[in-house]
Amino acid sequence: MDRPTALLRQLLILEVIQAHITRELARAKAQMREDGQHIIERQDGDMDIRVEFRVGDHYDEAVFMRKMLEAEAANRAKRTGMISR
């Protein structure tokens, strides 16, 4: 069994990370509002995520490959020490 304080420390660190992510989500959404960018529709598939969006009066769509998003998220988490993969 790990030291009890190690698990407590991990919990506290994760809480701080969660608070930071919540702030970053709010910041990103505020930036989208400021830029006049709105998500019209989002479709999550097994392989990709398709987002139809509007910037001002211009409509467009983007497709993001799920594996690439997962790899980028894992890489960022690894660099910050959130995961050890």
For 10-36, what is each residue's pLDDT tens digit?
889 889 989 999 999 999 999 999 999
Distance in angstroms (rounded) separating the CA atoms of residues 13 and 1: 20
Distance in angstroms (rounded) separating the CA atoms of residues 63 and 52: 9
* Predicted pLDDT at 82: 65
Whether pTM exceeds 0.85: no
Once rounded to an integer, what is the mean pLDDT over residues 57-82?
Answer: 90
* Predicted pLDDT at 26: 97
User: Is the pLDDT assigned to residue 53 strictly greater than 80?
Assistant: yes
